[in-house]
Chains A and B, each alone.
Chain A
Amino acid sequence: QSGAFGGGCMSGGGNDIQWCFSQVKGAVDDDVAEADIISTVEFNHSGELLATGDKGGRVVIFQQEQENKIQSHSRGEYNVYSTFQSHEPEFDYLKSLEIEEKINKIRWLPQKNAAQFLLSTNDKTIKLWKISERDKRPEGYNLKEEDGRYRDPTTVTTLRVPVFRPMDLMVEASPRRIFANAHTYHINSISINSDYETYLSADDLRINLWHLEITDRSFNIVDIKPANMEELTEVITAAEFHPNSCNTFVYSSSKGTIRLCDMRASALCDRHSKLFEEPEDPSNRSFFSEIISSISDVKFSHSGRYMMTRDYLSVKIWDLNMENRPVETYQVHEYLRSKLCSLYENDCIFDKFECCWNGSDSVVMTGSYNNFFRMFDRNTKRDITLEASRENNKPRTVLKPRKVCASGKRKKDEISVDSLDFNKKILHTAWHPKENIIAVATTNNLYIFQDKVN
């Protein structure tokens, strides 16, 4: 199912897609400032906005320019729309520990009015941010001068009605809610319910349900903490609400299982409705079997019929109606299977890759090492490996597919496994909800690729 494909085309909904470089954001130099390491990437529901979070606790939002009708060779570019400091480092005095400001996840709320809202979270605290535009300001106050100084009331002889006059666009981000003190362990996921009123947050051992309006209370809906911590053998790695059923959510574990829960069944969803687990392949058994089965990401398809999981070596698509095995499995970098010991030694085996669906659920994407990322077309069963690199940074340059040579004679343009750079990892990728535009994060740069528009 995973033959590497040498050409530059892949099918997406019947049309051949050729991926082209569009933009790259971030510092050019190789010396990466720790704070600039990108930790999450997310398009909003319309795709007009693209948010990134970094290790320094900052959120940067890019906005797509309206399509330029004259230059119709490409879709609008993404430019910085708003930058703000979402989280600051904190100190937990009781435990004498610093709480990192790194943004673990950003999730957008659907737009209801002129303002945009998003949830951002670090290890312990979730915040609801309102991003609003101001492009007008009132002028002509009676008691104030234009510069803000108060006028002497005795000099006022006539009254006028202040009017709104245009001003340079200002984008303001303000924190509207702070959801704190509900997680003992590190938050790994947040997910907004399809009711758009509630959301869940998951840490290593617990999942809480919040109402967006209420910050001083949350309901605990999953708790896998054993009474005796000595018995702890499994943690929660990701959680997500079903896109359509507001009572359904899933959570994945470090043992490679996914549990689907129905909140109508009981208040505390410790008993799953469904348990998705693929039996271990005995021929591939090793000391590292559990580590590589640990699920690093779980995402429902837009349709809600399928879910995708990412473990260390593969991407699996599950049909929600079939628990005993995935319906599709795609090998991301099977050539690493023989290197697991080394990857254990340098801790790369613990890297958490994310995955994403395209808008029509026909293609899935995930990252790998050496700044490679992979796409799998579910219909044609073709896959492609591309690289996010500044070397290909001419706009509308079609990206050349990459191939890794696992063993034997290396062909021209192939890269051998041993020359892969394991420090260049693509953990975070996102796909525009409607168009073939993707955002791929390397350590500290954000790449935007688009399909070639003729």
Chain B
Amino acid sequence: MLSKGLKRKREEEEEKESLAVDALWLDPGHAAVAQAPPAAASSSLFDLSVLKLHHSLQQGEPDLRHLVLVVNTLRRIQASMAPTAALPPVPSPPAAPSMADNLLASSDAALSASMASLLEDLSHIEGLSQVPQPLADEGPPGRSIGGAAPSLGALDLLGPATGCLLDDGLEGLFEDIDTSMYDNELWAPASEGLKTGPEDGPGKEEAPELDEAELDYLMDVLVGTQALERPPGPGR
């Protein structure tokens, strides 16, 4: 979400800027480029692109073409804004459980995860205006600075609510939740994990509320889906 200051600035300067900006992008060799506006113009375009990316990722099933085009455009803008900063290479997901890797490989959440990690990279680059804070509802783009972003994809698949991280970590997420329902005896011991999960440091990277049996089941279902996707044929 754009901060108020940023929005006001855009409203005031939008008209001027977009015309000027349009002209700029027509002719990068133009003298005007040497002067101040390019950074501001690129920055607002950057913000716009990040917004679009967010919006796209929040769709249940993002339009892949739209997503890919926005991401590529974002990369271009980023490259022009910080040409000397070495772009960190897109990281491979950290040591997430191999099961999560398989889930990632076979589901669309993989793209969400990759976008999440891309955005995490972008947020680390100095000199950028604030990356708009993600909306606090569900959805893959939930991320924290320095959180376990790539494995969010797996988490999203297994439990959407855990996809959102706040700056103060999972504790913050559970502070406002009325946990009295989890005090009910009918809930299996696994729910204890839900209450105590936030305090479980090491368990953070995995979905606290699903046990192995359920993960196995999900794996089976997804492998079954993958088999459907790729019916045996010549050369396969």
* A254 close to chain B: CB less than 8 A: yes
Note all chain B residues with C-beta closer than 8 A to A266: 235
Q: Name which residue of chain A comes closest to B75, CB basis.
A: A233
Note all chain B residues with C-beta closer than 8 A to A97: 60-61
Whether the pair B25, A219 counts as a contact (CB closer than 8 A) is no
Whether the pair A235, B64 counts as a contact (CB closer than 8 A) is yes
Question: Complex Cα distance A184/B77, Å?
Answer: 31
Note all chain A residues with C-beta closer than 8 A to B117: 230
Contacts of B214-236 to chain A: CB distance below 8 A:
221, 225, 228-231, 233-236
Whether the pair A95, B108 counts as a contact (CB closer than 8 A) is yes
Choose among B48, B69, B235 the residue that contacts A294 (Cβ–Cβ < 8 A): B69
Note all chain A residues with C-beta closer than 8 A to B23: 338
Note all chain B residues with C-beta closer than 8 A to A218: 231, 233
Whether the pair B231, A254 counts as a contact (CB closer than 8 A) is no
Question: Do A286 and B108 contact each other (CB < 8 Å), given the known contacts A181-B228, A204-B64, A341-B45?
Answer: no
Whether the pair B68, A235 counts as a contact (CB closer than 8 A) is yes
Question: Which among A182, A220, A284, A285 has the highest number of chain B CB atoms within 10 Å?
Answer: A220
Whether the pair B61, A220 counts as a contact (CB closer than 8 A) is no
Note all chain B residues with C-beta closer than 8 A to A233: 68, 71-72
Whether the pair A96, B45 counts as a contact (CB closer than 8 A) is no
Question: Complex Cα distance A355/B137, Å?
Answer: 41
* B66 close to chain A: CB less than 8 A: yes
* A229 close to chain B: CB less than 8 A: yes
* B73 close to chain A: CB less than 8 A: yes
* Closest beta carbon of chain A to B135's beta carbon, Å: 18
Whether the pair A232, B114 counts as a contact (CB closer than 8 A) is yes
Note all chain B residues with C-beta closer than 8 A to A235: 64-65, 68
* B18 close to chain A: CB less than 8 A: yes
Whether the pair B225, A287 counts as a contact (CB closer than 8 A) is no
Contacts of A205-239 to chain B: CB distance below 8 A:
205, 217-220, 227-235, 237
* Closest beta carbon of chain B to A28's beta carbon, Å: 31
Question: Complex Cα distance A351/B222, Å?
Answer: 33
Whether the pair A182, B111 counts as a contact (CB closer than 8 A) is no
Q: Mark A174-200 against chain B: 1 for CB-CB distance below 8 A, else 0.
A: 000000011011100000000000000
Q: Mark B70-86 against chain A: 1 for CB-CB distance below 8 A, else 0.
A: 01110011001000000
* B110 close to chain A: CB less than 8 A: yes
* A290 close to chain B: CB less than 8 A: yes
Note all chain B residues with C-beta closer than 8 A to A184: 108, 229
* A98 close to chain B: CB less than 8 A: yes
Choose among A231, A254, A287 the residue that contacts B25 (Cβ–Cβ < 8 A): A287
Note all chain A residues with C-beta closer than 8 A to B231: 182, 217-220
Determine the interface band of chain A, counting residues with CB < 8 A from chain B.
35 or more
Question: Do A229 and B114 contact each other (CB < 8 Å), given the known contacts A268-B235, A285-B28, A290-B72?
Answer: yes
Choose among B45, B69, B111 the residue that contacts A254 (Cβ–Cβ < 8 A): B69
Whether the pair B60, A291 counts as a contact (CB closer than 8 A) is no
Contacts of A337-370 to chain B: CB distance below 8 A:
337-342, 344-345, 347, 350
Q: Name which residue of chain A comes closest to B60, CB basis.
A: A97
Note all chain A residues with C-beta closer than 8 A to B185: none
* A267 close to chain B: CB less than 8 A: yes
* B21 close to chain A: CB less than 8 A: yes
Whether the pair B18, A95 counts as a contact (CB closer than 8 A) is no
Question: Complex Cα distance A94/B229, Å?
Answer: 14
Whether the pair B61, A95 counts as a contact (CB closer than 8 A) is yes
Choose among A254, A286, A338 the residue that contacts B65 (Cβ–Cβ < 8 A): A254
* B118 close to chain A: CB less than 8 A: yes
Question: Complex Cα distance A341/B24, Å?
Answer: 11
Question: Complex Cα distance A196/B72, Å?
Answer: 39
Q: Name which residue of chain B comes closest to A216, CB basis.
A: B231
* Closest beta carbon of chain A to B181's beta carbon, Å: 22
Note all chain B residues with C-beta closer than 8 A to A232: 64, 68, 111, 114
Whether the pair A286, B225 counts as a contact (CB closer than 8 A) is no
Question: Do A219 and B111 contact each other (CB < 8 Å), given the known contacts A185-B64, A235-B68, A350-B66?
Answer: no
Choose among B22, B118, B228, B229 the residue that contacts A339 (Cβ–Cβ < 8 A): B22
Note all chain A residues with C-beta closer than 8 A to B92: 228, 230
Question: Complex Cα distance A319/B235, Å?
Answer: 31
Additional A-B contacts beyond A233-B72, A350-B69 (7; CB < 8 A): A217-B233, A230-B92, A230-B114, A267-B236, A291-B73, A338-B23, A340-B22
